[in-house]
Chains A and B, each alone.
Chain A
C-alpha cells in the first residue's frame, strides 16, 4: 500500500496568492514525522518544513505552513504569497517509528507560479 499519497500531479497559482498541496499518509505507528521538500528544476531536494506526530501545533516556517489533521491522516502544505521562485516539484515524505529514520516519499506535485 502507498504510504504517502499526493493526488495533485500539477497545479497553477497566481503570483502573490496562496496554494495548498495535499498529502495523505498511511501508518500504524504512533510515532512518525512528516516532511515537505522542494525540488526545483536543478534537482536538489530542499527541506521546507517538519511536523512530528506528537506536535500539537501546526508547523510554520516563514511562508510555509503545514496543516496537520491527525485523525484524517493528512499533512497539507500551504504556501502563502506565492513567488515565481516557488515554481518547483514538491514532495511529501514520512518517517515511521521511533528509531527508523528512512523516508517514504509521495509522487510529488508540480507547482507553477504565474506572473
Chain B
C-alpha cells in the first residue's frame, strides 16, 4: 500500500527498558510528525520533521524521548528508561510539507504497553 506504515503494531516492554518505534511515511512526503494518544483522549503532538531535521520538538515530554530521520524518509522514535506512564498509542503522520498541501495522513499507530 501507499499509506503511512508503522512497526511494530504492538509493543510490550518492562519498566526501565529502551524501545524504538518506526515510521515509514508516504513516498514524497517531506514532513513527518509523531503524536501520542492516551486512552480516551485526542492525539498530542510530540515532534515534527521537515526533511532530515527536527523543525519542532516542543512536544517531547522529557529527555527520555528522542526521534531521528537520518535520510529524510523513515523515522524512529526512541524512548529510554520507559515508564508506565509512557503507555499509549504512538501515531505517525506525514504530509507534503507545503503551505496549502498540509493535510496529514496517519499510520495505524504503535500500541506501547509498559509493564
Residues of A with Cβ closer than 8 Å to B? 4, 33, 35, 37, 42-47, 50, 52, 91, 93, 95, 98-108
B44 touches A99 (CB 8 A): no
> What is the minimal beta-carbon distance from B70 to any residue of chain A, in angstroms?
21
Residue of A nearest to B101 (CB): A101
Q: Which of B87-115 contact A (CB under 8 A)?
A: 89, 91, 93, 95, 97, 99-100, 102-109, 111
B103-A50 in contact (CB<8A): yes
Total inter-chain residue pairs, C-beta < 8 Å: 59
Question: Which B residues touch A99, using CB under 8 A?
Answer: 99
| Contact A43:B108 (CB < 8 A) given known A104-B45, A105-B44, A106-B42 | yes
CB atoms of A102 and B109 under 8 A apart: no
| The one of B56, B91, B100, B105 that contacts A100, using a Cβ cutoff of 8 Å | B56
Q: Which of A37, A44, A91, A101 contacts B95 (CB 8 A)?
A: A101
Checking B31, B41, B59 against A107 with a beta-carbon cut-off of 8 angstroms, the contacting residue is B41
Considering only CB atoms and an 8 Å cut-off, how many residues of chain B contact the other chain?
27
Contact call A45/B106, Cβ cutoff below 8 A: yes
Residue ID in chain B nearest A33 by CB atoms: B102
Query: In the complex, what residues of A have CB within 8 A of residue B105's CB?
Result: 47
- Which residues on B sit within 8 Å (CB–CB) of A45? 43, 91, 93, 106
Across the interface, do B42 and A44 meet the contact criterion of CB distance under 8 Å? no
Residue of B whose beta carbon sits closest to that of A108: B42
**4 closest cross-chain pairs (CB), A and B:** A105-B42, A45-B106, A102-B45, A44-B108
